[in-house]
């Protein structure tokens, strides 16, 4: 199955638009979880087990593992996710962006070492920095487009004077992802939930690509506005999936020994909120 096939299947099987982000911060671990590499694995593994039937995708953020020398634990966690939730795709949140020869190595890291289904990328070095990832058949790649952080406007909301129509940078990236750059048909875009108007604009420019939408939960993004702006489909078919990510609100729903069950309850709540918005969009 391609990444998009797997994504649509997970959406149907788990009745979900919710992506569970795995950003393990040992300083926030509950009592009883060790604050070392093994603790990172144990914490994330329990979150995965608690939410495996609720997610459209999992999204481990590589920096939270690498900063603590926990790359081997990330490899184990990827294996664990494939065992516990074999039908749920895994997006490696790496935001890589480098020249072609280096990009080839990063692509190998994502798709061979970690066996991710998709990866996040920075497009600002141009297509030759993206192309090596598209050579992996059926794998997905999400380009940063209109990100949820405040500083994203520094570049993404600037006009391109030498492009016809003088689009904003993020609009041009959306156009490229829909058209000439999408050579393997598996390209997607990252658009923050804190900017629902921009989500709607990106969807208009890129009606056929999946959108990875962080910012719901701790960052304050509006789940209902997010679905209304980005999801397109009918009762039986999703034209282009949206993957609405929540990390900290789920991971740290409780500081006690019940953290996994609390994570599940928060994931259930968020999944239902997104489902309600989806039903409103269909009404």
Catalytic site positions:
95
Looking at residue 30, the DSSP 8-state letter turns out to be P
Cβ-based neighbour number of residue 115 at 10 Å: 15
Residue keyed to tokens 């009745």: 15
Task: With H, G, I as helix, E, B as strand and everything else as coil, classify residue 160.
Answer: coil
Q: What's the rounded Cα separation, in Å, for the pair 4 and 250?
A: 25
CA atoms within 13 A on the CB side of 160: 12
Measuring CA to CA, which residue among 203, 196, 186, 239 is closest to residue 219? Answer: 196
Kindly state the DSSP code that residue 221 receives in the 8-state scheme.
B
Distance set, CA 125 to CA 30, 114, 180, 184, 189 (Å): 40, 24, 16, 19, 16
Q: Are 164 and 190 in contact (CB under 8 A)?
A: no
């Amino acid at each position: 199955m391609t990444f998009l096939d797997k994504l649509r299947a997970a959406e149907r099987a788990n009745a979900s638009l919710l992506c569970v982000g795995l950003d393990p911060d040992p300083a926030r671990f509950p009592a009883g979880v060790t604050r070392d590499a093994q603790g990172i694995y144990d914490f994330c593994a329990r979150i995965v087990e608690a939410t495996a039937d609720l997610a459209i995708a999992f999204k481990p953020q590589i920096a939270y593992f690498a900063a603590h020398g926990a790359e081997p634990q990330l490899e184990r966690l990827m294996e664990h996710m494939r065992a516990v939730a074999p039908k749920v795709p895994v997006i490696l949140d790496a935001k890589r962006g480098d020249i072609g020869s280096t990009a080839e190595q990063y692509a190998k890291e994502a798709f061979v070492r970690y066996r991710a289904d998709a990866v996040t990328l920075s497009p600002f070095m141009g297509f030759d920095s993206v192309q090596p990832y598209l050579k992996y058949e059926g794998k997905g790649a999400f380009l940063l487009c209109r990100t949820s952080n405040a500083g994203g406007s520094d570049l993404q909301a600037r006009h391109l004077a030498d492009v016809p129509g003088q689009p904003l940078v993020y609009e041009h990236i959306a156009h490229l992802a829909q058209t000439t750059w999408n050579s393997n048909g598996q390209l997607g875009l990252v658009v923050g939930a804190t900017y629902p108007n921009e989500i709607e604009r990106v969807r208009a420019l890129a009606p056929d690509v999946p959108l990875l939408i962080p910012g719901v939960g701790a960052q304050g993004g509006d789940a209902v506005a997010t679905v209304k702006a980005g999801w397109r489909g009918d009762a039986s078919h999703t034209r282009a999936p949206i993957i609405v990510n929540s990390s900290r609100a789920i991971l740290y729903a409780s500081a006690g020994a019940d953290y996994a069950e609390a994570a599940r309850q928060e994931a259930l709540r968020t999944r239902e909120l997104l489902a309600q918005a989806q039903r409103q969009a269909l009404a």
